[in-house]
Structure 1
């Protein structure tokens, strides 16, 4: 039988089995695919060049929510993945950023760094991560609590993505970017599973190091027009033949006797490595092979890395999505071949969007916000207003952390200091609004920008001042031309698609919030929602009984 005919037959069988949801059957496997920094408009812009088996399979054969949004400002990777896995906003799950300041010590805190654990199958000091600072249960945690025989696996190239998505009880794997191997830590295992060790010994990343990033189409075949790395002249030899890869290789290069695959994550090959390992995990962990529902989360981090460096209007990003479209087709075909109709459900979405590409000569208003200058000038202002001193501890993700020790030692009122700082912040170029932590703790913002900022606020971790930049503005970073982290549509609006045996094909145009993903999957798996979940079940996916 031809491959195309086999795919059509499998899809027909899958749809024929859709009645299983109405009779209460649980899927054997739920796969949650998160493509980091995928804006909603990419689906419309690139769909003509997508294949029928990749993104368009989800768009045409699944429940496609075209107006799904994150209802908060801190649209960064950690916060988005936490919302997807817990069913609540940052004000509920507590993850506002990857780093913050501990107000009691004035010391920085990293979300996943844990000195009490060690990395497995990696160099000393590498991979010392755990869900130490995750404060809410995830969907996987709830599934394991409901059925100890269920398996929960989380995979991502970066440890933050893998750990936040997996939670406390999952089997979590991420890439040791230096060696190109997949690793974990002693929090999750005493030693890596045998299948992972055997997989790493194959060094499957090595062949990619000798390949170049070749375009999928002619220059005229792309929707975007800007390009800096992809070369439409005859291909040169070797992965690092082009200037960008030589530069990246020199940054990440370790000892000569060690491979260094970090540069691969900035190319479509990073997606290929993630897909390969995900397929191996399905086999190695025997996911979906019994009557106990399993959960697999796959986070593709490479789209975010490419998007940040090249921007949403680059051919590099567009070409990566066409290659990822092929990856999705291969992965979905594999799932359909492994499972009977009614046994698998797949979700395809993103953790956040991203800003338009920053250009100095753009006629559309945009700019870069200099956080270091902001800290310095703010410190001088507070010293002049009150007493000379080190008033500013740090700035992270549009949050300013003040030195509360000096405020209390002088006997100043914290709310007054914060209010003056927030008012002064409005005078900086690029700042659209500023709120103090006191105002967010004591007040209620029922709509508009204030509501989205407040939905991102977690008192123990958020800064004393939270600023909202003007549309098109991003924080200063010379290595990046596009960033997320705002409350604007380009950051909050993402694709959301459900595909599987019990989900009718439909396109839904109503506005939905991303907190609904977890309770919807919990309903499908017939378990209770995680303890912090505040979202509502999406009735188009799971009709009310």
Structure 2
């Protein structure tokens, strides 16, 4: 009787151990993090077998490509990682500068992988442009690949070829140390190329060892050309004219001077040195400027960003349907609007298929990947893993 009891107890312990192992799962050897520009819901049918969060969103406005991908790989917003846009005005030179990995003020998924594996985990990134690939990888990268301008019509196919080449040459996913591969596709013509990428990587690495994470940049380019034709309210916000009018207004208050030393898109930069010379508090100047700007047609909100890196002192938000134009160069500046919703998909690595309706911030992608490959989440990430 005693032996029978021991036998049953042993079987129970083995069953519980097996169940625990199944729940624990196998850590993916390769995570492929894919961001598609302006993705809506038209992802390849292959991903229907994944874990799909159907209502992804970015937790801030004024999303563009650089701020979006930086938020995905850091698990936080531009307030912390400081990549506020593709380009911004440098206060010292008053010239526009492009976002670079050196400007990312926090750690990224790639950084944390390198720290956790003492540099052994590989990091590669592929994108249409070199600058985008560099931002995806962050401060630590083994290989970058991008398209040159001559092949813009073959972006998706060419990027897939380059990505698969890196998987082979860098032996990504071939040992127990996890690796990261970041990709960014343009919005057009990516579906067949993406399907090929997934099938080939699963063949080389194994379905259970490759985790694919797919999401969107979270905005769409707004085309207002036909708004007036269909009697939809629209208008033009002239960037330089606005800066000049604001300068005249502040001059009328406090005497002649160049109070607005620069403008870029919807950002206005005040002359801190002049204000200090005239003993005018910066907070007073921005408040007066805000009151003036709110009276202009098309302006719905004015945000004040004192001392924030890569931001003007004042940021103008336009009414829906309005567009921006540089009245010196007559350049039409694309206005970007947030998507109503977009998918966040986890596919492969034995993750069961499921569709989730609850809204999910993209800030939760980085901690979920971190947990899957058993590394620390990026250091500014305060979101919890999705599973």
* TM-score class, shorter: 0.7 to 0.9
Q: CA deviation at 1:280?
A: 1.0
Deviations 1:183-231 (A, max 9, x none): xxxxxxxxxxxxxxxxxxxxxxxxxxxxxxxxxxxxxxxxxxxxxxxxx
Q: Does structure 2 retain, via aligned residues, the 8 Å contact 1:368–1:430?
A: yes
Matches within 5 A, 1:301-450: 302-303=186-187, 320=188, 323-359=189-225, 360-438=228-306
Q: What SS is found at the alignment partner of 1:78?
A: helix
Q: CA deviation at 1:93?
A: 0.9
Q: Does structure 2 retain, via aligned residues, the 8 Å contact 1:75–1:352?
A: yes
Matches within 5 A, 1:19-98: 22-38=23-39, 40=40, 43=41, 47=42, 55-58=44-47, 60-98=48-86
TM-score (norm. length: structure 2): 0.87
The answer to whether structure 1 residue 495 and structure 2 residue 343 are counterparts is: yes
Q: CA deviation at 1:57?
A: 1.6
The answer to whether structure 1 residue 110 and structure 2 residue 97 are counterparts is: yes
Q: CA deviation at 1:502?
A: 3.1
Q: C-alpha distance in 2, partners of 1:158/1:35?
A: 13
Q: C-alpha distance in 1, partners of 2:96/2:105?
A: 14
Structure 2: which 5+ residue stretches go unaligned? 1-19
Q: CA deviation at 1:382?
A: 1.6
Q: CA deviation at 1:355?
A: 4.2
The answer to whether structure 1 residue 162 and structure 2 residue 133 are counterparts is: yes
Q: Does structure 2 retain, via aligned residues, the 8 Å contact 1:20–1:502?
A: no
Q: What is the aligned partner in structure 1 of residue 316 from structure 2? A: 467
Q: C-alpha distance in 2, partners of 1:149/1:354?
A: 38
Q: Does structure 2 retain, via aligned residues, the 8 Å contact 1:62–1:497?
A: yes
Structure 1's 143 and 370: CA in aligned 2 closer, same or farther, altered over 3 A?
same
Q: CA deviation at 1:481?
A: 8.4
Q: What SS is found at the alignment partner of 1:406?
A: helix
Q: What SS is found at the alignment partner of 2:181?
A: strand
Q: CA deviation at 1:296?
A: 0.1
Q: Does structure 1 retain, via aligned residues, the 8 Å contact 2:325–2:333?
A: no
Q: C-alpha distance in 2, partners of 1:68/1:400?
A: 31
Q: Does structure 2 retain, via aligned residues, the 8 Å contact 1:522–1:528?
A: yes
Q: C-alpha distance in 2, partners of 1:377/1:137?
A: 41
Q: What is the aligned partner in structure 1 of residue 182 from structure 2? A: 297
Q: C-alpha distance in 2, partners of 1:437/1:352?
A: 23
Structure 1's 467 and 172: CA in aligned 2 closer, same or farther, altered over 3 A?
farther
Higher gyration radius (CA): 2
Q: C-alpha distance in 2, partners of 1:480/1:31?
A: 36
Q: C-alpha distance in 2, partners of 1:157/1:176?
A: 5
RMSD: 2.3
Q: C-alpha distance in 2, partners of 1:172/1:431?
A: 44
Q: Does structure 1 retain, via aligned residues, the 8 Å contact 2:324–2:333?
A: no
Q: C-alpha distance in 1, partners of 2:155/2:85?
A: 24
Q: What is the aligned partner in structure 1 of residue 376 from structure 2? A: 528
Q: C-alpha distance in 1, partners of 2:269/2:282?
A: 12
Q: C-alpha distance in 1, partners of 2:239/2:37?
A: 24
Q: CA deviation at 1:55?
A: 1.5
Matches within 5 A, 1:121-136: 131-136=101-106
Q: Does structure 1 retain, via aligned residues, the 8 Å contact 2:94–2:262?
A: no
Q: What is the aligned partner in structure 2 of residue 307 from structure 1? A: none
Structure 1's 20 and 402: CA in aligned 2 closer, same or farther, altered over 3 A?
farther
Q: C-alpha distance in 1, partners of 2:200/2:269?
A: 48
Q: Which has the higher strand share?
A: 2
Q: C-alpha distance in 2, partners of 1:164/1:25?
A: 29
The answer to whether structure 1 residue 273 and structure 2 residue 158 are counterparts is: yes
Q: CA deviation at 1:401?
A: 1.0
Q: What SS is found at the alignment partner of 1:132?
A: helix
Q: Does structure 1 retain, via aligned residues, the 8 Å contact 2:207–2:350?
A: no
Q: CA deviation at 1:108?
A: 3.8
Q: CA deviation at 1:109?
A: 6.1
The answer to whether structure 1 residue 143 and structure 2 residue 120 are counterparts is: no
Q: What is the aligned partner in structure 2 of residue 507 from structure 1? A: 355
Q: Does structure 2 retain, via aligned residues, the 8 Å contact 1:30–1:344?
A: yes
Q: What SS is found at the alignment partner of 1:376?
A: helix
TM-score (norm. length: structure 1): 0.62
